[in-house]
Structure 1
Amino acid sequence: MLLQVNLFTLIWTLLAGHVSCCDYFESMCGARGPGDIIIGVLNACHSKVQNLEGRIKPERFNCTGFDLTSFVETLAVIHTIDTINDSGFLPGIRLGYLVCDTCSDASKGIQGAIHMLAINQTKPFGCDFIERPLVKAIIGARYSEVSTAVARLLGLYMVPQISGTSSANTLDDTLRYPSFLRTIPSDVHQTHALAQLMAHFKWNWVGVISGDDDYGKAALNDFVKYAEDANVCAAFNEVIPHYLGHPESNRRISEVATRIQSSSARVVLLILKGQLVEQLFKVMISKGISRTWIASDSWSQYQPVAELTGINTIGNVFGIRFITGPNPGFERFLTNLSPGPAAVNRFIEEYKNLRFECTTEVQQHKDCLNSRPADQCPLPDSLKLKSKDACELPDPQKANDDFLVHALNQTYAHRLATWSIAYALRALLQCNATMCTGERDLKPCDLLLEIKKVNFTLDNKQFYFDKSSLATGYELINWVKRLNRKHFEVIGRYDVTKRTLSIEEKTIEWQTPNKTIPESKCSESCPPGTFQKISTTFCCFNCSDCEEGTYTNVSDLPNCLKCPGDTWSLRGWKICHQRNESFLKWDDPFVISLLVVTGIGLLLLFSIFIIFLNKRHSVIYKVAGGKIVFVMMAGLAVSFGAVVLFVSKPTDDICKARQTVYALGFTLSISCILVKAFRTFLAFLLDMNKQHMLNKLYKPAVIVVSGTGIQGLICIFWLIFDAPKVEHEISRQSMEIVLQCNEGHNWGFGIMHSYIALLASICFLLALKGRKVPQRFNETGYIIFSMIIHLFVWVCFIPIYVTKIQQRPAVQASAIVVSNFGIIFCHFFPKCYMMLCKKKKDTDRQSYLKNVRNFSISTISNALSNTSVSSSDLENSDKEIDLTDTGASTPISSRASTMTIQAESHNTGISSSHKIRQRLRAKSL
């Protein structure tokens, strides 16, 4: 908006007649060549306007700072026009040119455009614009800031404008700039290529420095958008005034240099004009700061920067430039530089004066070199353009050398712009091989339509305008060390149609201490096994371990990868592996120990079997239970056999078998112990009525069969309605698939164990009641202790079984072994000891009966001291109770006990016997 106000203020000032057109435009354009059709050239042959900020009235612009790059680009247009004229491409038509200097300023560019649009530059500007101005098309300007302003003006009259360097994407807007065209791609492609370059080298934390002009602002906005898509973040974003004469430029450059030095970003993108980069690099070199620099197209081949003193200490520099091509004869044109016949070129004159004219400063430098070493005579910046032959040539304007050949940059785009106008003119003028029949004073709007339709071949390449830009691409260049300066080397290309970047990394020599690719990241690299967890921005992150079932096998992945197929990984793993099946294996140390103990148990049972078989006629054998001990051994052997079923890979059948085998085997043993406990309880029960009544229930075979049969029914119902089966227990925190038996809803498992616990508890209570039997032949203590062992083991087993799911098989197998050994040690070892180690007189029948008799006497004496016995009880006491199962070979009667009492009473006197009888009648034993 401000630009438009300035434009119309300028026009109004001119129209008001404050100054004559001749005075205002005198000597404004620096070069012209005669021709039938004039092509205008707007270029920044000077870098700035002197005292622009103090300008208060329309007066002549005083431009300073000769720009060698823009000068060569201007010469490329002039040389191409001369080539077209000499080739007869437009028969009978000669192209002329008018070159106006923009001095890198938009207002100065508008001034030049107005001059080109005038009917006759010798007339006042009061004459209005017409449809056929002197200049039919304009090539330029160099900077997007100037092109944007000029395009607004030229768009009013649809005068074609073609730029070979202005790449701001805002110029793609055909509504605001309908007559603007360019022979280079839009910055939309450049910024996308720059973002891809940074992503390729994994630079996700970069600094950005741009100018405050339209080109810098538009390029910055596009880069931020594409950088985010490429996971690249801006560590900082600084702006420098685009105008070189700005009073704040030096201060801002110093601040930006400090910002770069303090930042952790090791890569910096510079979207600036070359003169600003030159000033910035001087500060960086003086501070010894090295970074990796990314150059936009505006300075990617700027020779003054490449030739700075100390430029090789600045670090790697990568730039992006438009694809170039040959310009036949241009080098010869530069080495024989002259305006040409009937042409005027003040820019050539100024260049030759700067190059070859002898000045006092040149003479002083030469005198210094003659008297001092070269290192004591530094070359001032103002003399860097001077030839070593200065002050030795008689006429600077007639001198020439090859200096400009080394300053060749992107002149190919200007050649394309000139040829595109020529091809459009050929079509519009209806030219053939000998003549052009069209009207020469053509309308610029008609020429614009033809330019947009051109499709021509140059250097075996086809060119046409896609919307407003030629379909070309970019080249990625690397600034390579060459002596004390930088040399430009192409290392890659960007295809604008495919939007892909290709880079030849092998040709890059990295200027880092270890000669490797520098890193520029917000955070440290995340090693394999971790992923980047975003902290503040998406480029700043913390390294977090991959969760179970995921992995990363390379560094700096944003997300962990899922394990493929049936593989799995633990937290923080770099790779996935197959899970291992976990079960009790034969080679496991615990299993080996368990099987050894089980084998020892079976071996002990076999040894006990042999001992009892040999001592089957002894009283101890009969006291131990007689033939029932062999049944107990069989049950324990089966129970030990169940332990083996807990080893190896489980199947559904094994899961069913191991619980059933253990249940039946151990229940059989407990049922036999129940018989022994019940027998002992009955044998020494003093209440004769209860003894007589309970004696009817004492049927060993029935007890054993019934006790085991009930367990068998429990197991059958369990197997039918809720049978155990194999399940695969998979944990996220483990690399193992635990194969184990699922006992169903555990009601069958619980009932089975509860039934065994019930039998054990009954044995315990019966043994507890009969614990006062003769000590030498006492079974009750062993029964009590063995049942306590069993109940304690299985009470401890329950919480472990519930909480330690993976250890269930090992825990249950261990519990079975301990229970079995508890029975072996309590029931068989004492009897074996008595059979093998006791004297025969202590274990024969007489000794046994004597102990029973002594026990009966002492027990009944204690009872009679507190109890009266009725006559009916005494009569009942005469009835015989069969206690053969106690181990005696003949019945032991209650009468014998009574007789024993009487015999003992006789020794104390007849009177006491009478009292005892009275007490026996009062209360039954």
Structure 2
Amino acid sequence: MPMCRLLCSFFLALIILSSIPASVDGCDYAQSICGAQAPGDVVIGIMLPCHSKVSLQERIRPESFQCSDFDLVSFMRSLATIHEIDEINAAGFLPGVHLGYLMCDTCSFASKALGDVDYMLEGNRTLNVKCNYTEFRPKVKIILGALNSDVSIALAGLLNVYMVPLLSSTSSAPKLSDKLRFPSFLRTIPSDKHQTKAVAKLMKHYDWNWVGVVYGDDEYGKAAFQSFLADAKANNVCLAYQEVLPHYLDNSQAMVRIKQVAEQIRSSSAQVVLLILKSDLVEGLFREMIETNTSRIWIATDAWSRSRSIAQMDSINKVGDILGFTFLSGKSDSFEKYLKNLTATPGGYNYFIEEYKSLRFNCTPECDSKTPPSYCSIPDLKKIKSSNACNFKDPQEQNDDYLVNTLDTSQAFLHKVAVQAVANALKKLLKCNSSLCLGEINFPPWKLLEELKKVNFSYDNQSFFFNENGDFANFYELIMWKTDGEYRKAQRIGNYKVSNQTVEVQINITWLSTANTTNPQSRCSEPCPPGSVKKILNESCCYNCIPCVEGTYSDEPDLNNCKPCESGTWSLKNSTGCKPRTESYMKWRDPHPIVMMAAAAFGILLLLVIFIIFLVYRDSPPMKRAESKPIVLSWLSFPLVS
């Protein structure tokens, strides 16, 4: 009981602090927290960043967060989720049950997201404090999100209290697979531990053993880097350098560090660089590369492998080849038709659609003036703006195919799969048949979590299910950024299968770095050819080549040690194999024995001449003084020894 009272007091303090009504000072509570909503019998929460930044400054008062930089790609992902919910409702997949949604903008910031969760779970703007939340029945039964791992980690930690499921289609940090720490978290993608294996296997496939790594200091970057270290070692890949960047560009040291990292990349002999970074940091780093005309082979992780803003950077073709791994993707005709006719779900609202249409169709000639207003500084505003914007009377009534033509809508595939997973779990939980659902609609969220873990369904001719860690363990797509005029466009060139850990490249690649299909190199040392072995220097990938000595050989490149010849065989220096020992005899008529015999006969004749001279002058005074007898005996022994 004391422990129960202590827990109750703790949660009461948290909730009192987090549930202060936001309608104070004229703030519209619902509108300021969540920007899209549609009513339903079962409500699904959506937490994705329609804006990519929060204005970071010294925080003194608990005021609302100011979000900026409208994110078209994430906006499109949220629309895919909403569209799939509408499709399930239209198809009558859950007879008699209508799915609703409540969408909040996390602005890619964990603190903002935590505030959104409070709003989603509360009833009548209050959260009842309990010691046991088994019968906790909020209106929102599950939350789809978040985009980034650091935000999902924060949300999952809070949602564990209530066991409300959190289902992400993009958060890949390995620690989220820990079901003791995050029992209510699931995802429709594999863990990053598989992605780092894929990256190391890709490097081994192309024989790149000397690489640089730049990673962010957030949860995603640090975890992925540690995982890559082990996988690189297992595949004989060495690190020329490892650099870390602050994961927010608003950090005062970010640009200084970017310049330092850029200098490290330029000065290193490593031609391959792995970037485990968010897209805004990659964009800042690439600007430095473009300014100095530096070209490398860049390996992209899922965080930026399909980034539109990077692909459309000015002079992006100068940075060199870009390869990367991304999650499953797939086009949908019905979704693209929906994007061309954007409107809020009947009975609900979507302020994000209104903001997009304002950016796209509002007439803003003042942004072309010499002193444009502050709101004109939104990145890519001129690219978003329609050329006919000033011809429209009501921007909110307009639609076009800009999103379909500009964005890669296949990125939203797994967000649609997430909704399908929820729908299939609900079908089991609510005991639905072909005509009605018999189960209780106002169920506690943990019951949906139980069904979600067991779900196994087919969608778009593929099977999906969660493994024991709550992950989808299927495969990654291997993509390469091919040139598309002045910009880049992702092209699928292969895949990596998680089940057998193999990289499969399905098409021939034309490399920018070699201007043909010849694979570029990134090695600390040239391979040692057969007949020689490696003499390791300071790194296992850095070595000199030394030839194998007589009696040893090497029959493969890059061996660490020469192999000894077997008994009865022999090899010469620098040999690639051993040959059987053979006996050979000299013939008398061959030049070599004739020369040897002639030399021997001449030597014997010379000895005889000297011997006769000794005999003739043996009694002379010099000979007597020299004691000639022992000398004569020694000379006589020479022919016998030879």
TM over 0.5: yes
CA pair 592-487 structure 1, distance change in 2 beyond 3 A: same
1:113 paired with 2:112, answer no
Q: Structure 2: how far apart are the matches of 1:503 and 1:232?
A: 19
- Partner residue, 2:383: 384
What SS is found at the alignment partner of 1:206? Answer: strand
> What are the within-5 Å matches in structure 2 for residues 316-327 of structure 1?
316-327=321-332
Task: Determine whether 1:289 maps to 2:289.
Answer: no
| Alignment check: 8 A CA contact 1:21 1:125 kept | no
Cα 1:567–1:791 change in 2 (3 A) is: closer
Instruction: Please point out which of 280, 283, 296 is paired with 1:278.
Output: 283
Pair 18,502 (structure 1): closer, same or farther in 2 beyond 3 Å? closer
Q: Deviations over 1:798-826 (max 9, x none)?
A: xxxxxxxxxxxxxxxxxxxxxxxxxxxxx
Instruction: Tell me if structure 2 keeps the 8 A contact 1:17–1:126.
Output: no
- More displaced 10-residue stretch of structure 1: 77-86 or 554-563: 554-563
The whole-number CA distance in structure 1 between the counterparts of 2:535 and 2:398 is: 66
3-state SS of 2:180 partner: coil
* Superposed displacement of residue 335, structure 1: 1.1
Alpha-carbon distance in structure 2 between the residues aligned to 1:203 and 1:9: 53
Identify the residue that residue 435 of structure 2 maps to in structure 1. Answer: 434
Aligned letter for 2:440? Answer: E
Instruction: Tell me the residue number matched to 2:536.
Output: 534
8 Å Cα contact 1:355/1:385 also seen in 2: yes
State the SS of the aligned residue for 1:411: helix
Which residue of 307, 314, 317 corresponds with 2:319?
314
Partner of 1:483: 485
**Which residue is equivalent to 1:470?**
472
Q: Which residue of 2 aligns with 1:418?
A: 419
Please report how far the alpha carbon of residue 364 of structure 1 lies from its aligned counterpart in structure 2 after TM superposition.
4.9
Partner residue, 1:447: 448
Q: Deviations 1:592-624 (Å, cap 9, x if unpaired)?
A: 4467899x99xxxxxxxxxxxxxxxxxxxxxxx
Which residue does 2:637 correspond to in 1?
791
Q: How does 1:619-638 map to 2 (within 5 A)?
A: none
Q: Does 1:397 align with 2:400?
A: no
TM-score, length-scaled by structure 2: 0.86
Among candidates 82, 85, 105, match of residue 81 of structure 1: 85
Q: CA 1:63–1:545 in 2, change beyond 3 Å: closer, same or farther? A: same
TM-superposed CA distance for 1:573, in Å, is 2.9
Q: 1:322 to 1:514 in 2, by over 3 A?
A: closer
Segments of structure 2 that go 5 or more residues without pairing to the other structure are 1-8, 371-377, 603-607, 620-629
Shift in CA distance, 115/550, structure 1 to aligned 2, threshold 3 Å: farther
Q: After the TM superposition, which residues 533-612 of structure 1 pair with which residues of structure 2 at under 5 Å, given as runs?
A: 533-553=535-555, 555-561=557-563, 567-585=569-587, 588-593=590-595
- The letter of the residue matching 1:382 is L
1:320-365 deviation digits (Å, cap 9, x = unpaired): 0112234341111111111121121111111111222221355559
The offset of 1:561, in angstroms, is 4.8
Counterpart contact for 1:207–1:265, Cα < 8 Å = yes
2:65 counterpart SS class: coil
CA distance in 2: counterparts of 1:576 and 1:508, whole angstroms: 41
Q: For residues 342 and 565 of structure 1, what CA distance do their matches in structure 2 show?
A: 88
d(CA) in 2 for partners of 1:124, 1:217 = 37
Indicate the larger mover: 381-390 or 149-158.
381-390
**Residue in 1 aligned with 2:524?**
522
Match in the other structure for 1:53: 57
Question: What is the aligned length?
Answer: 601
- Give TM-score, length-normalised by structure 1: 0.61
Counterpart of 1:502 in structure 2: which amino acid? E
Cα pair 2:94 2:436 within 8 Å, conserved? yes
Residue 74 of structure 1 aligns with an amino acid whose one-letter code is S
Once residues 45 and 18 of structure 2 are traced to their aligned partners in structure 1, the CA distance between those partners, rounded to angstroms, is: 26
Q: Which amino acid aligns with 1:393?
A: F
1:45/1:793 CA distance change after superposition, 3 Å? same
TM-superposed CA distance for 1:543, in Å, is 2.1
Aligned to 2:623: none
Q: Larger radius of gyration, structure 1 or 2?
A: 1
| Cα distance in 2 for residues equivalent to 1:64 and 1:483 | 30
Deviation (angstroms), 1:156: 1.2
* Greater helix content: 1
| Higher RCO structure (Cα 8 Å, ≥6 apart) | 2
Shift in Å, 1:512: 2.8
Cα distance 1:592–1:241, how it changes in 2: closer, same or farther (>3 A)?
same
Distance 1:205 1:597, change over 3 A: closer
CA distance in 2, matches of 1:112, 1:17: 10
CA 1:31/1:481 → structure 2, altered by over 3 Å: closer, same or farther? same
- Structure 1 257/597 Cα, relative in aligned 2: closer, same or farther at 3 Å? closer
Match for residue 673 of structure 1? Answer: none
Q: 1:561 to 1:390 in 2, by over 3 A?
A: farther
Q: Residues 198 and 340 (structure 1 numbering): CA distance in 2 closer, same or farther, change over 3 Å?
A: same
Q: CA deviation at 1:247?
A: 2.2
CA distance in 2, matches of 1:559, 1:392: 76
Deviation at 1:768? 7.4
Tell whether the 8 Å contact from 1:69 to 1:409 is kept in structure 2 after alignment: no
Deviation at 1:46, TM superposition (A): 1.2
User: Whole-Å Cα distance in 1 between the matches of residues 530 and 18 of structure 2?
Assistant: 76
Q: How does 1:16-35 map to 2 (within 5 A)?
A: 16=17, 19-20=20-21, 22-23=23-24, 25-26=29-30, 27-35=32-40
In structure 2, what is the equivalent of residue 98 of structure 1? 102
In structure 2, what is the Cα distance between the partners aligned to 1:556 and 1:185?
Answer: 34
Which of the residues 484, 493, 501 maps onto 2:503?
501
Kindly provide the CA deviation profile for residues 361-411 of structure 1, in whole angstroms up to 9, marking residues without a partner as x.
55559xxxxxxxxxxxxx984322222222232222222222222312421
Cα deviation digits, residues 557-583 of structure 1 (max 9, x gap): 444455578554333334444444344
Q: Distance in 2 between matches of 1:576 and 1:479?
A: 48
Superposition pairs of residues 307-386 of structure 1, within 5 angstroms? 307-361=312-366, 363-364=368-369, 381-386=380-385
Cα offset, 1:506, TM superposition: 1.7
Contact map agreement 2:511 2:519 (CA 8 A) in 1? no
My pick for the range that moved more, 27-36 or 429-438, is 27-36
Distance change (3 Å), C-alpha of 1:143 and 1:585: farther
Distance 1:420 1:17 in 2: 31
Q: Percent identity?
A: 47
Aligned amino acid, residue 86 of structure 1: A
The amino acid that maps onto 1:113 is V
Match of 1:618 in 2: none
**Root-mean-square deviation over aligned CA pairs:** 3.2
Q: How far apart in 2 are the matches of 1:525 and 1:29?
A: 59
| TM superposition shift of 1:505 | 5.6
* Matched-pair contact (CA < 8 Å) for 2:527–2:557: yes
Instruction: Find the aligned partners of 1:298 and 1:274 in 2 and give their Cα distance.
Output: 7
Corresponding residue to 1:175 among 180, 183, 187: 180
Work out the CA distance in 2 between the residues paired with 1:65 and 1:285.
23
Pick which of 34-43 and 338-347 moved more.
Answer: 338-347
Q: Which residue of 2 aligns with 1:709?
A: none
Aligned to 1:706: none
**1:444-843 to 2 correspondences below 5 Å:** 444-467=445-468, 468-504=470-506, 506-512=508-514, 516-553=518-555, 555-561=557-563, 567-585=569-587, 588-593=590-595, 790-795=636-641, 797=642
Provide the rounded CA distance (Å) in 1 between the counterparts of 2:197 and 2:19: 49
Q: How far apart, CA to CA, are the structure 2 residues paired with 1:315 and 1:137?
A: 43
Deviations 1:59-89 (A, max 9, x none): 1111011111111111111111111111111
